[in-house]
Amino acid sequence: MGNRAPIHITIGGTLPREHLEVFAAHAADYDLRTEWDGEPFDAAALVAGEPLELYGTELNGGQIPAVDAFCCEHGLPFRRWSGGCLGAFMPEIVLYDGTGPLRDYTASEDEWVLFPPSWIKGFTRLRELKREMARAELTIPPFVLLRGARA
């Protein structure tokens, strides 16, 4: 059955409306909700001017690979926290800024990025550490549905 963990994902960016049905199907596959133990995701619940916040519980490995892949395919920035499973895996935060590779960090159970001592010891200057800490904080833009096809 695998180890299960919760997730919280914040998604932003612009998505052509014609792709919303596919996204909603992915959200339904993982039983993603608009709040912890709240209602299942429904596009009608989108709040104008805000990023999309979704929550899931009891997810295999604390992962939602189809949602991550969909966001990457469509250039949608996101921040996903996945809880840990004692003896199996640590909590993590995965960031995607809309381009480039995913960045992942060890996290706490209350969604804070953690820097292991080995990382910290690897920095030779305080400003290098501060720069990396800033990279680990991604501001997610509002989630916007575009009426027509994107050019």
Closest CA to 30 of 50, 59, 62: 59
User: pLDDT averaged over consecutive 10-residue blocks of the chain (151 residues)?
Assistant: 87 97 96 94 89 95 96 98 90 96 94 92 92 93 82 44
Instruction: Give the pLDDT of residue 150.
Output: 47
What are the two backbone dihedrals, phi and then psi, of residue 104, each rounded to the nearest 5 degrees? -125, 150
What is residue 131's predicted lDDT score, i.e. its pLDDT?
93
Instruction: Let me know the angle formed at the C-alpha of 19 by 15 and 24, rounded to the nearest 5 degrees.
Output: 100
Prediction pTM value = 0.91
**What pLDDT is attached to residue 148?**
64
Cβ atoms within 10 Å, residue 144: 15
